Every structure is written in structure tokens, then in C-alpha cells.
Amino acid sequence: MPILEARSLSKRFRRADKASGFKGALKHLVQRKYKNFTAVDAIDLEIEPGESVAYVGPNGAGKSTTVKLLTGILKPTEGTVRVMGRDPHTERIANAHDIGVLFGQRTQLWWDLPVEESLKLLKHMYGVPEADYKARIEKFDELLGLGEFMPALARTLSLGQRMRADLACALIHDPKMVYLDEPTIGLDISVKDRLRAFLRQLVDDGTTLLLTSHDLADIEEVCERIVVIDEGRIAYDGPIEQLKAHYITTKAVDLVLDGPADVGSLAEKFPHYEWSAGEAASEVVVTYESARFTTAEVLGDVTAHLRPRDLSLSEPSIEDVIRRLYAGELTK
């Protein structure tokens, strides 16, 4: 039975349709006009217990709105959501008890108090027994280095510290279902690595995770399944590996030659490969279909006719695939 189930989930908002300038403002005051726009459009989504799902899409695609619908913050315009059998909006309090939520761009720390105070308050809100609270704080200290800034005022924390503290706040009650909306936004690479390792551990421990991120490394390192949303609709839903297998059908070899590369003559000589100029005049890129040719075959052909000074292998990243999905070049 899915832990989360959304059926034909839609959310439409009303936006003021106001002309710019003073005249526009005055006109809007007298004659108000609004436009409806659809942020989430008939989404069907099921998540099984223990799954780690990446929910990705370009800015304004409807990611955060979906998270707010799934967490009960927003009421759907149409459709239904069930999280652990409950409607998260009408049964908000009971639902909130079993979920953990982190919005990377908003903190849940009390700004003018030490981090410890916020965590203690959450302990009481969720009714966490003292022994469990202490055990979890110790674990967070070990994995997130929480101890170093527990006594510090939230407003004095660095962004990385703030995010780690917010993550601890989202998980202090050991929720069954966790929603993380941009948990690594604005963080440096070392903090990102630490957070990703922590999230992997969380998933290994059986927590169900829904993660939205613009950082595709977060997704590849933490999640097994990816849901791509664009213009409020799901463009792809499946395992990340399957997405790669379906859409990453080509590989490329970047060659650095001794002199200028003649792409035209190479294309004539090897028409079954695709040739393109590299960044420098002496660089050339040969792209081939990985299902038809092995990398060894390609290298054999190429090195028999050219004497590259250097070469490197590359394959399109998941980022490229998603970019192409957003651009509508790929379909499910």
C-alpha cells in the first residue's frame, strides 16, 4: 500500500492582472481583473514506503506547490491526496505528526534564540520522549556536526549550519515520510557532501523521502526514482537508471589533435559517427550510439587514422537528459 497517493491533483491560483505604472494601479483599484493560472495540473503520484523520490523541474514548474499540497499546507483545487491514509489538509495536525518537512528557503528555527531552544520546542510539539530526543541529538551531532552550533543564536549561523539545524528540526520526531524542498540550496560543496551522506543514511534506514532540488548531484546520490515535472504536469516518472538507459543512448570521445581538426573530412571518412568541432581548433568530438558501437571499436577506428595527443570519454549527464526533457525534446 502506498504511503503517499495523489490522484488528479491540481492547484490553480488567481493572480491580479494589473497594468504597470500609476495608471495601471489606479485602474486595478476601480476595476479588478484576475487571471487564473495552473501551478499543478492533474498529477498522479504514488510513493511506496521506503522509496526515495526526486521531484525535479525548472523554476515555476510546480514543485514547491506540489510539496505544499502533499504536506497539507495548501488545499487542492481538484483531486485527492492521501498520506498514510489521511487527507493532509483536512487532517493536518495528525498528518503533521508523521511527516518531516524542510523548506530550504525558509527556516523553522526561532531566529532570536539558540538552536537548542528550537529543537526542545519541537520535542514538546511532537511529544518525543526525553531518551529518544537525546539519542537523536547525539546522532545528528555525529552525522551533521550539530553540537558545534547548538548553543548559538539561529541568526548567527552560517547558511550551511542553518540548513543542518533545520534538517535536525525536520527529523527530530523520526517521521515516516520526509519532504525536503531544496535542502542544499546555496551550500558549498563540502556541506552538500555531508548532507547527501546524511540523506543516504536516512534512506538506508527506511525513511520515505521526497526531495526537490535543482542540484542533480543531490538526486543521483540520494534517490532511486525521479519524477520530472514541467508546467504543472509530470513529464517523466521512473527509476533514475531507467531514465539514463532510455535517454542516454550516445557516448562521446573528445580528441585533442596536434594540428587543426578537419571535421568535414572526418565525417566523410567515418559517416556512421557524428563529428563536431571542439572548443579549440585542434579539438574534435566524435559521438556514437552506444548500442551499435563499443568504445573500443570507436577508439580503434579513430586511432588508426588520427594520432590524438589526448582523449577523454564522456556521456551525457542526467542533467542533459532533464534539460532535454524540459525543452520537450524527449518524451516518456
Partner 1 sequence: MADALTIPKGHRFAADRALALISLKRRLAYKTTWLFSITLGGWQLLVGIVVWQNIIGAGSVGGYDWDAMRAYLVIGFVTSTIAWGSADWQMAGRILDGLVSIDMTKPVDFQRARAAEYIGGAVSVVPTAVLGAVAAWLLFDPQDPATPLAAVLTAVSVLLIFPMAFGIGYLSILLCFWTRRYLGIQWAKDGFVSFFSGMMVPLSLMPGWLQALSWCLPFPHFTTTPASIYLGRVDALEALGLIAAEAAWVVVMWFGARLIWRRAIQKVTIHGG
| Contacts to partner 1 by CB under 8 A | 13, 39, 64-65, 68, 71-75, 90-94, 96-97, 99, 101, 103-108, 110, 112-113, 117, 120-127, 181-182, 185
As measured in angstroms, the least distance from the Cβ of 173 to partner 1 is: 8
Contacts of 142 (CB under 8 A, 6+ apart): none
Which C-beta is closer to partner 1: that of 14 or that of 23?
A: 14
Contacts of 249 (CB under 8 A, 6+ apart): 289, 290, 291
Which C-beta is closer to partner 1: that of 29 or that of 93?
A: 93
SS3 125: helix
Which C-beta is closer to partner 1: that of 64 or that of 161?
A: 64
As measured in angstroms, the least distance from the Cβ of 93 to partner 1 is: 5
As measured in angstroms, the least distance from the Cβ of 39 to partner 1 is: 8
Beta strands at 274-277 and 283-289: parallel, antiparallel or unpaired: antiparallel
Q: How far is CA 87 from CA 91, 126, 243, in A?
A: 6, 19, 31
Which C-beta is closer to partner 1: that of 182 or that of 218?
A: 182
In the β-sheet with 78-83, what is the strand arrangement from edge to edge?
34-47, 4-16, 78-83
Whether the Cβ atoms of residue 50 and residue 177 lie closer than 8 Å to each other:
no
Beta strands at 233-239 and 274-277: parallel, antiparallel or unpaired: unpaired
State which amino acid sits at residue 301.
D
Which C-beta is closer to partner 1: that of 93 or that of 189?
A: 93
Which C-beta is closer to partner 1: that of 175 or that of 308?
A: 175
Looking at beta carbons, which pairs linking 237-242 to residues 24 or more positions away fall under 8 Å? Answer: 237/45, 237/332, 238/332, 240/54, 240/318
